[in-house]
Amino acid sequence: MFKTLYKKCLDLAAHKSSNFFLGVVSFVESSFFPIPPDVMIIPMVIAKKKNYLKIFLIASIFSVLGGIFGYMLGAIFLDTAMNIIEFYGYEKKVVSIKNNLSQGEGFLAWLSILFLAGFTPLPYKAFTIASGLIGFNILVFIIVSLISRSLRFFLISYLSYKFGDLFSEFMEKHGSKWFTILGLLIILIFFIILVILKFNA
């Protein structure tokens, strides 16, 4: 099934209405669909390099809107949300974070996890739903989602524009690993800055 959906997304990338379908895939991937927009972004940019910024914006905006939908799903349909969280194996972590947040703790931990989910190959959809389930601040959720998703899709779009098929091959072989490393480095830098600011306060 996964391979069929993957191939279908590749076919949609070559469709005359590819921008529309990219928006749809970006939206649904943030709440339940298993194939990431990257699958469409890379071939779309390679085919029409001058449109790389437009493609990046479509993916980013609709992904965040889909994330908000996932958040609302988690906030309203609690049983369904927990079933999805259990499917990805994060139920214990989510329950722990929810308990910590209710005690005024764990905010920065979930902030970091949410950023990593939006930027790395972690299943972003699971964390959009979990954010609604645990009652995470929705404004912070939107801001973090916008930053992480936009940063990821801009890098993918720009590097596809710059290096074409070479980047496509790199993503197939090493993309998951290097996006994870880069995401962790960003989080590390963020915490170092927080420590410096706290030390100098």
Between 53 and 92, the more confident residue is 53
The alpha carbon dihedral of 190, 192, 198, 201 has a sign of: negative
Give the global pTM.
0.86
How many domains, in total, are found in the chain?
Answer: 1
Picking from 132, 151, 163, the residue whose alpha carbon sits closest to that of residue 189 is 151
What pLDDT sits at residue 3?
60
Condensed to tens digits (0 to 9), the pLDDT of residues 164-188 reads: 888 888 888 877 788 888 888 888 8
- What are the CA-CA distances from residue 158 to residues 13, 49, 105, 135, 148 (Å)? 17, 9, 38, 35, 15
The alpha carbon dihedral of 89, 92, 96, 102 has a sign of: positive
State the SS3 of the chain. Answer: CHHHHHHHHHHHHCCCCHHHHHHHHHHHHCCCCCCCCHHHHHHHHHHCHHHHHHHHHHHHHHHHHHHHHHHHHHHHCHHHHHHHHHHCCCHHHHHHHHHHHHCCCCHHHHHHHHHHHHHCCCCHHHHHHHHHHHCCCHHHHHHHHHHHHHHHHHHHHHHHHHHCHHHHHHHHHHHHHHHHHHHHHHHHHHHHHHHHHHHHC
pLDDT band per the 50, 70, 90 thresholds, residue 104: low
Determine the structural domain holding residue 33 and report its residue range. Answer: 2-200
Condensed to tens digits (0 to 9), the pLDDT of residues 142-158 reads: 999 999 999 999 999 99
With contact defined as beta carbons under 8 Å apart, do 182 and 118 qualify? Answer: no
What pLDDT sits at residue 141?
95
Between 122 and 29, the more confident residue is 29
What pLDDT sits at residue 154?
95
What pLDDT sits at residue 85?
80
Total Cβ atoms within 10 A of residue 13: 22
What pLDDT sits at residue 153?
95
Winning range, highest mean pLDDT, from 81-95, 114-128, 138-152, 160-174: 138-152
pLDDT, the chain, mean: 85
Least confident range of 24-33, 40-49, 192-201: 192-201
**pLDDT at residue 2 greater than cutoff 60:** no
Between 174 and 133, the more confident residue is 133
What pLDDT sits at residue 170?
84
